[in-house]
């Protein structure tokens, strides 16, 4: 397919199971390396013209796979490639891979009318980093995000920034496991999300996100969110749906419902109540930084709801019930405080049958 966005640079063939695995990277180029694997062959794609002298790379079997340091092997030789005929077709008629068309970018992950925003987790990397990656040089986090938006090699969905390098990946963290991330000083994990321009246009590109921390006492609304982007969207829509500006939120990926807690404040405005969540509980605290100046932000928050002893009543759920929580002082998670529920009000209509 000449319109394919996939770039195949190498492959492995399993002779036992007859399976061919395609890769977007070369296993002989650092940081990737080859290891010994029984009944498997490793090949790299090289496009050449018939009857031309080309430079080939020969791959030796890697022994000592248990060594701590990866072993990179390259032994080169010059070989002449001759044209092989298959009926009326020549080798040159077969193109196994296609480069992505010019001017296409990873922004294709989103709709044309969308904008990208990135959850930014400082001093962390993905524990199980994917092999489908592409490296670019970059001095800043903003440049890394821009490279992910514009990458033409594949559709970038996440980035790891290390000093002067960006590792772009087509995959992202799963969020639910406590083993998703590993502490790595001076590294930053960025994850791409797509929002409609009208919803997120007044926000900055990078949204600070902190693992397993909670802001106590400022939850105004509790909603259901199946994913991190749903919780982010709920925070963006809070002014329209719940009549307050959401400055930050907490999302609990392993809870099925009532797992997105929307705050009227953030760790900058109330640092004394920003604390670690209970040990072993995976959750995400994130902030939505606004691009408006201080006066505009002050005006926007002037009519924030008066502080109440309870969170606001939730929207009606599938059981036709609304709920709210007491903002108790002895719990960091407001959902562990006493809960009130009530049936949703129904509109009563009187019908007359005309005869």
DSSP 3-state assignment of 197?
helix
346 confidence band (pLDDT: 50, 70, 90): low
CB 148 within 8 A of CB 167: no
Looking at 104-113, 120-129, 217-226, which range is the least confident one?
Answer: 104-113
Q: Smallest Cα–Cα separation from 253: which of 224, 288, 275, 273?
A: 224
- Tell me the average pLDDT across 138-153: 88
Token look-up 């002449």 returns 80
Task: Name the average pLDDT for the chain.
Answer: 76
339 confidence band (pLDDT: 50, 70, 90): confident
Give 27's contacts (C-beta < 8 A, 6+ positions apart): 10, 33, 34, 42, 44
More confident residue, 280 or 253: 253
Span 69-104, pLDDT tens digits: 443 333 344 434 334 343 434 333 333 333 333 333
Dist. CA 324–CA 338, nearest whole Å: 9
Q: What is the pLDDT of residue 120?
A: 98
- Tell me the average pLDDT across 296-315: 60
CB 193 within 8 A of CB 236: no
Of the segments 38-47, 64-73, 283-292, which one has the largest average pLDDT value? 283-292
Count of beta carbons in the 10 Å neighbourhood of residue 345: 9
338 confidence band (pLDDT: 50, 70, 90): confident
Q: What is the pLDDT of residue 144?
A: 95
Q: Smallest Cα–Cα separation from 168: which of 129, 134, 203?
A: 134
Of the segments 42-51, 197-206, 319-328, 341-350, which one has the largest average pLDDT value? 197-206
Looking at 2-16, 27-41, 299-313, 320-334, which range is the least confident one?
Answer: 299-313
Looking at 205-209, 286-290, 316-320, which range is the least confident one?
Answer: 316-320
- % the chain with pLDDT above 90: 38
Q: Taking 80 as the threshold, does the pLDDT of residue 231 lie above it?
A: yes
- Tell me the average pLDDT across 64-71: 40
- Tell me the average pLDDT across 154-170: 91
- Tell me the average pLDDT across 177-188: 89
Residue 131, both tokens? 């092999």
Span 113-129, pLDDT tens digits: 899 999 999 999 988 76
Q: What is the pLDDT of residue 323?
A: 75
Q: What is the pLDDT of residue 152?
A: 66
Give 281's contacts (C-beta < 8 A, 6+ positions apart): 212, 252
Q: Taking 50 as the threshold, does the pLDDT of residue 62 lie above it?
A: no
CB 189 within 8 A of CB 99: no
- Tell me the average pLDDT across 123-139: 83
Dist. CA 97–CA 106, nearest whole Å: 19
Residue 295, both tokens? 């006066």
- Tell me the average pLDDT across 245-269: 95
**Domains of the chain, start order:** 10-93 (no CATH), 102-211 (3.50.4.10), 216-355 (no CATH)
Q: What is the pLDDT of residue 60?
A: 37
DSSP 3-state assignment of 125?
strand
Number of helices (H), then strands (E), in the chain: 5, 21
Q: Smallest Cα–Cα separation from 231: which of 201, 254, 252, 255?
A: 252
Beta-bridge mates of residue 285: 210, 250
Q: What is the pLDDT of residue 160?
A: 95
């Amino acid at each position: 397919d000449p319109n394919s966005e996939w770039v195949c640079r190498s492959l492995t063939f399993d002779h036992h199971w007859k399976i061919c695995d395609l890769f977007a990277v070369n296993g002989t180029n650092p940081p990737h390396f080859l290891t010994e694997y029984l009944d498997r062959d490793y090949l790299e794609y090289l496009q050449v013209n018939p009857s031309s002298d080309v430079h080939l790379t020969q791959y030796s079997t890697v022994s000592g796979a248990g060594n701590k340091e990866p072993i990179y092997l390259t032994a080169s030789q010059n070989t002449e490639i001759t044209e092989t005929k298959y009926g009326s077709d020549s080798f040159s008629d077969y193109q196994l891979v296609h480069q992505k068309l010019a001017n296409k970018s990873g922004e294709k992950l989103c709709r044309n009318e969308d904008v990208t925003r990135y959850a930014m987790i400082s001093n962390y990397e993905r524990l199980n980093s994917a092999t489908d990656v592409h490296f670019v040089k970059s001095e800043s986090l903003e440049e890394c995000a821009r490279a992910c938006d514009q990458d033409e090699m594949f559709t970038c969905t996440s980035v790891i920034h290390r000093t002067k390098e960006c590792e772009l990946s087509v995959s992202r963290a799963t969020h639910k496991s406590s083993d998703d991330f590993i502490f790595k000083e001076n590294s930053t994990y960025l994850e791409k999300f797509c929002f409609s321009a009208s919803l997120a246009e007044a926000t900055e590109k990078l949204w600070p996100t902190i693992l397993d921390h909670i802001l106590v006492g400022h939850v105004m609304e509790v909603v259901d969110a199946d994913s991190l982007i749903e919780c982010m969207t709920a925070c963006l829509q809070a002014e329209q749906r719940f009549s307050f500006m959401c400055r930050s939120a907490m999302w609990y990926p392993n809870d099925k419902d009532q797992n997105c807690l929307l705050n009227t404040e953030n760790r900058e405005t109330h640092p004394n109540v920003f604390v670690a969540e209970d040990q072993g509980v995976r959750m995400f605290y994130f902030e939505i930084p606004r691009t408006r100046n201080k006066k505009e932000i002050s005006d926007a928050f002037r009519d924030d709801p008066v502080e109440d002893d309870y969170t606001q009543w939730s929207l009606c759920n599938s059981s036709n019930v609304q709920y709210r929580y007491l903002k108790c002082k002895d719990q960091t998670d407001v959902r562990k405080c006493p809960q009130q529920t009530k049936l949703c009000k129904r509109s009563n209509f009187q019908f007359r049958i005309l005869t």
